[in-house]
A and B are shown apart, each in its own frame.
Chain A
Amino acid sequence: MAHPDTRDIPKATVETLHLLFEGILTVLQPGNLLFAFLGCLLGTMIGVLPGIGPAAGIAILIPVTSGMDATGAIIMLAAIYYGVMYGGTITSVLINTPGEAASAVTCLDGYQMAKRGRAGVALSIAAIGSFIGGTFATFGLVFLALPLTGLALAFGPPEIFALLVFGLSLVTGLASKSLVRALIAAIIGMLIAQVGIDPVLGAPRFTFGITELLDGFGIVPVVMGLFGIGELLSSVEARYRNKPTPAVRGLLPSPTDFRASAAPIARGTGLGFVLGLVPGIGTIVPTFLSYALERRLSRTPERFGQGAIEGVAGPETANNASAAASLIPLFTLGIPGSAVTALLLGAFMVKGLTPGPALFVEQPAFVWAIIASLLVGNLILLVLNLPFIPVWVSLLRVPRAIMLSAILCFCILGAYSLNNSTFDVIVMLGFGIVGYLFNKLDIPVAPLVLTLVLTPLLEAALRQSLEMSVGNFMIFVNRPIALGFIVLAIASIALSALNSVRHLRGGGSEI
């Protein structure tokens, strides 16, 4: 299978740099720069609105780009993608309501930081982490796209299943202090994920004749309810306890914050990049895994959930790194790994470009302009967002009565706009009550969200693997990558079991 044209590109580093440089020059043309800027700005706004995520944002704005040339249009759409990913963080930190699902995990510590007057620091570190993650992942795309395509292809159903099992084993990393409570939440999440049409055979499960349930519970209304509405209910109650809003202490991270964040940002970049390559994983899973990983690795895991900056830095970085890495299978194979890259693929094709093995050879100027735009877009986003942080933080001074009503309005509006359906609003409000009850019972909501996202992927991968092996479970042991993840999963479970026992003996924690 000699394809010298495509195979030679990664080796010719000098030529790569030359092409990248030309790409940067293309992006720096005033028109394209303006599109990148507008995309970042619009994307941030869409991200701030709860409910509307990157896929919906891009879908809405594709018509705006219809009159533009291909390069300008794709630059703008990619910038919107990045903008949304960052914008979603803002509401997670300020009001505990993720603007899009991938920012949900940022609520855990970002919002706690805001409660302690460190909203500015949380937003800054998220912006910086996003910049670093996005930039390094883009460099990975530049120099390693073609070899990494092989890695992406190495992930068949058994590998994806094993990877997801490992992801599930990290769920204990999302436990606040009680493992059992985290597992309760995780299992409820798995059960909720069973609702809907069976993904392999097509039989309806637990739908009780309700058509809207055929598609299962939408992840976005569930997350908005659990975090946003749940917190809203709790804080209405808290009003009577007369807790003063803390003064804002500093907007920029201190040297201590930077030291604490450096390793999580580095790990978040790596984790996000690798998971971004695997088709079908999406951007939510990397953020949760990064959070769980940071908590596992931390010497002071008890600070997580109490405003640990590592819990913001890692996931926010992973989120953007995986977004950039997910473009690799799109460019090199023409196979989109997520809803967002699928929309970009659609936009490519509307412009008469067919992503696939031949794209790098046939349309080098275009491809490199897009890649360069990712670098420039990341920089624009950083420059755009850092000065805005004081403005966002000042929102916290809005009187509580007005703020709570506004949050409720935005959540309802956002949930309704997902499918123009009141059903999503009901789901969100229902899960708001669940979130409130979980809060009261001290059950963490994050494990529920993680299993809700993972379970459908897990089920499809398991069933496809067993179809491949004609029912033989050894398929997960005979394949090296799958075996590796299974071993990691077992080690992870063993370690946390050991820790629990140690805690029990010490009597320091309830199980």
Chain B
Amino acid sequence: MRLSRRTLLAGIAGAALASAIGSGPAAAQSWPEPGRTITAIVPFTAGGGTDAFARRITPKMSEALGVPIEVVNRPGASSQIGMTELANAAPDGYTIGFQIFPTSLAYLDPERQSAYTRDSFTPIGPAFVVESVLAVRTDSQFETLGQLVEHATANPGVLTAATPGVLSTGHLAAIGFEQATGVDFALVNFQGGGPSVTATLGGHVAVGFFAMNELLPQLESRGGQLRALAVLSDQDNPYEVPTAVSQGFDVPSYAPDVGIVAPAGIPAEAQAALSEALKAALEDPEIIAAAADTGNSIGWESPEDYTARWIEAEERYAPLIELAKQ
């Protein structure tokens, strides 16, 4: 989906449209070359939270860079397919991707035979952080987290719980939740946030572990059909969903942390330009408003700070990834 097809079609589309395609601010810097397209790999299904916010940020980055950014979805295997493709992409900066901690850290598990580690990527910066939420359908018998835990304790292994995929944040959050509360769910791992929301809406599972951004449009308070029981976080949120801690359950915070990376070895100027473009996008008032409205919190960091954050995430999640395998 890159240059050749654009060129091909621009020719077919005719001069009138060709002029429209190339529009945008002229790039003064040496990278990116005008007329190139940047491909942004989202390693999850379209319609999930990462996809949704990636599609909001990339047009703003595109404005700052002066070249189009095309989002492509490469879902599967809890982001491993997309991340492998990204790690193997040409290190020219024209392919970037979105990764989520802890999901992308699956390379810490040798059984996954990941073709990459942290060293396979060039960090660009963090994009956004989302809260993990536990939700049920509005017609569910569970009104509070307490009722759910009580029922689950009495009936171990019976209540089904949707996660967005093996080793996804939702999956690790579910495991962490089980550990902290002593309950035992029958976990159902879907392929992405969209399908797990659909399954919960359809009543095919009793509860679901979601990212706030995927859940928000479906919330009761917004005209939807799902009721959030608890946020797995130690901080209050603007959506008035109580935290697990406030309901008396000492569950650690599990927040999907989405960032942008490129293959290792991209030119320094490309890394700098992408980092600047990300900064511009995250400081855009439209993005700030959209983030609050869609359940994401944002804050720019330099590539160096992002690397530190990456190392910290590796240390924090390694034990949970061990547990998830059992």
Give chain A's interface residues, CB within 8 Å of chain B. 1, 3, 5-6, 38, 42, 45-46, 49, 52, 56, 59-64, 66-67, 153-158, 196-204, 211, 214-215, 279-280, 329, 333-336, 339, 341-343, 345-346, 349-350, 354-358, 361, 413, 416-420, 460, 464, 467-468, 470
Contacts and interface: CB of A to CB of B under 8 A. Distances in A.
Contacts of B70: 59-60, 62-63
A350 B187 contact: no
B303 interface: no
Interface stretch (B73-81, B127-135, B172-180, B257-265): B73-81
A339 B76 contact: no
Nearest to B193: A335
A63 B21 contact: yes
A1 B138 contact: yes
B55 A350 contact: yes
6 contacts: A42-B13, A197-B76, A215-B85, A279-B198, A350-B59, A420-B1
Given A42-B13, A154-B202, A199 B20 contact: no
Contacts of A468: 160, 186, 188, 204-205
Contacts of A60: 1, 5-6, 9, 70
Interface residues of B, number: 71
Given A1-B225, A356-B218, A155 B202 contact: yes
B217 A334 contact: yes
Nearest to B60: A350
B3 interface: yes
A467 B203 CA distance: 15
Q: Taking each of B5, B13, B59, which has the highest tally of chain A beta carbons within 10 Å of its own beta carbon?
A: B5
A211 B47 contact: no
Contacts of A63: 21, 68, 70
B212 interface: no
A419 B90 CA distance: 12
A15 B70 CA distance: 39
B314 interface: no
A467 B186 contact: yes
Given A203-B111, A358-B217, A349 B56 contact: yes
A222 B275 CA distance: 39
B201 A153 contact: yes
A56 B1 contact: yes
Nearest to A149: B201
A155 B195 CA distance: 11
B46 to A, nearest CB: 3
B3 A420 contact: yes
B230 interface: no
Contacts of A156: 199, 202-204
Contacts of A342: 45-47, 51, 73
Nearest to B80: A202
B182 interface: no
Interface in B108-124: 111-113, 115
Contacts of A56: 1, 5
B5 A199 contact: no
A198 B77 contact: yes
A64 B217 contact: no
Contacts of A464: 188-190, 199
Contact of A417 (B5, B81, B217, B224): B5
